[in-house]
Amino acid sequence: MNSSISVRKASGELEVFSEEKLYQSLHNAGAGDPLISWVIEQIRPQLVQGVTTRKIYQLAFKLLRQKIGVLASRYSLKEAIMELGPTGFPFEKFVSEVFRAQGFNTLTGQIIQGRCVTHEVDVVAWKDNLQLLIECKYHNTAGRICHVQVPLYIHSRFNDVRYMWQRETQSEGKNYEGWIVTNTRYTSDAQDYGKCAGLHLVGWDYPRNGNLKNRIEMAGLFPVTAISQLNHRQKQSLLDADILLCRQLLEQPEQLIKAGIKPRMADKILDEVQQLIALD
């Protein structure tokens, strides 16, 4: 049904609407088949030629929020990451937490001397004999993409820093890797260069296993911007208070009150947070 409907992606490209894609995105958020069927039935009448994928997302999000708020929160994960902006600093901290959840020690915003020049590195992570230089490429609007120039540039920075790392007294037996993490996508040329150069590229849905979405969900590291009951001002207030992750609210529930949220609503939000984390 609606197989002839073309939808407009954030990049401006047109593609044929796929009910299967919509089903899968709702399923990935944790919705069961009866709820998914209901959501799709509600959306079908809105499917006109040229409707944007953004519009379809907004409709699905609104319908999920009407039924089960925590599923709306999970469904909005990609959008929630884009709400961490406008600067890339919160995203760097978020990426740092993702690697910490994988057992790494991490530091953000490090100034490191390379062979030729000094570099400000977004995240440095280390575990056992492995040390990573991680550059974060954050976009707060949909449709942006990382072109091949990004890994070309990061590769040269990594080589400059690695040269000095390998000459440290504690470097024997250590392995060094360069990583790039983005909340969007890479061009095929960027992916090919990463593979050829030995750079680890992580995008929203790249690679198939170990992409950013996978890593976030496996670690249960949902940002506060994913909470469906918060408005934009309240989310920004929490970010300004250095509350980045939902789990921090369980440790510091008073931050909700400081953000101007009434106690009764704060209790509802904490309940949503507990459910969101419990789903993983």
**DSSP characters for 44-55?**
GGG--TT-BHHH
Does a structural domain hold residue 22?
yes
- For 84, the token pair is 């961490």
Shared-domain flag, residues 199 and 232: no
pLDDT at 173: 84
Shared-domain flag, residues 227 and 215: no
Average pLDDT, the chain: 93
Does a structural domain hold residue 260?
yes
Does a structural domain hold residue 79?
no
Shared-domain flag, residues 62 and 148: no
Shared-domain flag, residues 94 and 34: no
Better-scored residue on pLDDT, 2 or 110: 110
Residue 245 has pLDDT above 60, yes or no: yes
Helix (H) or strand (E) holding 53: helix 53-67
Shared-domain flag, residues 116 and 204: yes
Does a structural domain hold residue 116?
yes
How sure is the predictor about 3, in pLDDT bands with cuts at 50, 70 and 90?
low
pLDDT at 280: 58
Overall domain count for the chain = 3
Of the residues 72, 100, 121, the one at which a domain ends: 72
Shared-domain flag, residues 107 and 124: yes
Q: Which amino acid is at 268?
A: K
Does a structural domain hold residue 204?
yes
Shared-domain flag, residues 123 and 193: yes
Shared-domain flag, residues 265 and 251: yes
Nearest Cα to Cα of residue 129 among 107, 111, 105, 163: 105
Give pLDDT tens digits for 75-134. 999 999 999 988 889 999 999 999 999 999 999 999 999 999 999 999 999 999 999 999
* Of 109-113, 163-167, 187-191, 193-197, minimum mean pLDDT range: 163-167
> For the residues 269-277, what does the mean pLDDT come to?
91
Q: Which amino acid is at 187?
A: T
Shared-domain flag, residues 46 and 121: no
pLDDT at 2: 47
Q: Which pairing describes strands 145-146 and 185-186: parallel, antiparallel, or unpaired?
A: parallel
Shared-domain flag, residues 159 and 196: yes
Residue 1 has pLDDT above 60, yes or no: no
* Stated pTM of the model: 0.90
Does a structural domain hold residue 143?
yes
Does a structural domain hold residue 81?
no
pLDDT at 57: 94
Shared-domain flag, residues 142 and 183: yes
Does a structural domain hold residue 14?
yes
Structural domain range at position 110:
89-219
CATH number at residue 118: 3.40.1350.10
pLDDT at 279: 66
How sure is the predictor about 222, in pLDDT bands with cuts at 50, 70 and 90?
very high
